[in-house]
Amino acid sequence: MNDTIQIAAQADSDWPITNCYIDAWMLILAAQGMEPLAGLGVTAAQDYEADQFTFFKYQHDDLELLYGLVVGELTIYRSMEQQIDTQVRQGRLVLLEVDGYYLPDTRATSYLRQHTKTTIGIDNIDLERGVLGYFHNVGHYELRDADYAGIFRKLPQQMQVKDVLPAYVEFVKRRFAPLSGAALADAARNTLRRHLRRRPADNPIQRYREDFPHHIERLLTEPDAFHDYAFGIFRQLGSNHQLLAWHLAWLEAQGMSGLGAAIDAARTISATAKSMQFKVARIASRRQFDPCDAMFGTLERSYAAVGDSLQQALG
């Protein structure tokens, strides 16, 4: 099953998939009739973390303020399936870190090919039939049979391995009524202002540019590392600013003015990061260094333009 949830502004997308946590939450919020774009003010605070750009997530306090949803960690002390079933029966959603190797919706990437960590949002589980309903990437899906057994480490080869770290599990429950209309727009604007104060004082693109030659040295000798590198660098930088542009466009539609320059600059970062990803892939495959000066210049100027424009608009 693939019940794709339509999210406003996703038709024209540089990055159809951003990161597993954000993607799952956008689907969950949209499926509950709430506006996912309102909670993306966190994207204004992205930094370069010395070896990756910030893996951005909806902040738990933002989810509570805007949508009335409280997120807690689920302590696993018995069968994980049974505990998930208990939470789902309470009308709650469970966020579970799983191995993408067993997710049938990833047939084009990791399914039965590559072991990779990802987060799914579980809204339905049938213990007797061994069927799981979950949100992931761009839709809602079901898995069963060997995939179900693989997710819960019940396959014969998995049960032979005992030294395994337990999965990290969260549950989501409704505590307050979600905001809507003008109240939601006002709260989202204040949330954006708060995250803007967390924005780096310097330009993180410049710091990445300084490290770039050393990163390429590794990629030239380990070209197979490019996929994971691109996820941590180009996809996080580009998709973060794609969602920032969507968030600002949503605020603009709610009546906030002065956001046009920031929206344009954020879109430029998104598109340039995507182009740079392809260019660095060619550098790694051809094993021929290129400093990518023009692209770095565009990214640096655009990052500065986003911050300057938002400071003016928000005061």
At 5, the pLDDT band (50, 70, 90 cuts) reads: very low
The CA distance from 186 to 81, in Å, is 40
CB within 8 Å of 221: residues ≥ 6 apart: none
pTM > 0.85? yes
Strand segments (E) across 210-307: none
pLDDT tens-digit map of 56-73: 999 999 999 999 999 999
Strands across the sheet with 131-136, in order? Answer: 69-73, 169-174, 93-99, 117-126, 131-136, 139-144
The pLDDT assigned to 7 comes to 53
Q: Which of 43-52, 160-169, 215-224 is modeled with the greatest confidence?
A: 43-52
The CA distance from 315 to 312, in Å, is 5
Mean pLDDT of the chain: 94
Higher pLDDT, 23 or 161: 23
Judge whether residue 2 has pLDDT over 60: no
Mean pLDDT over residues 126-140, rounded? 95
CB within 8 Å of 181: residues ≥ 6 apart: none
Judge whether residue 92 has pLDDT over 90: yes
The CA distance from 224 to 314, in Å, is 43
Write out the two tokens for 182.
């003008």
Judge whether residue 4 has pLDDT over 70: no
Judge whether residue 162 has pLDDT over 90: no
Give percent above pLDDT 90 in the chain: 89
Residue appearing with tokens 């032979």: 160
The pLDDT assigned to 94 comes to 98
Query: Buried b / exposed e across 259-268, counting CB within 10 Å, b at 16+?
Result: bebbbebbbb
At 42, the pLDDT band (50, 70, 90 cuts) reads: very high
105 and 120 Cβ atoms separated by less than 8 Å: no
The pLDDT assigned to 159 comes to 85
pLDDT tens-digit map of 222-244: 988 999 999 999 999 999 999 99
The CA distance from 141 to 2, in Å, is 5
The CA distance from 204 to 219, in Å, is 21
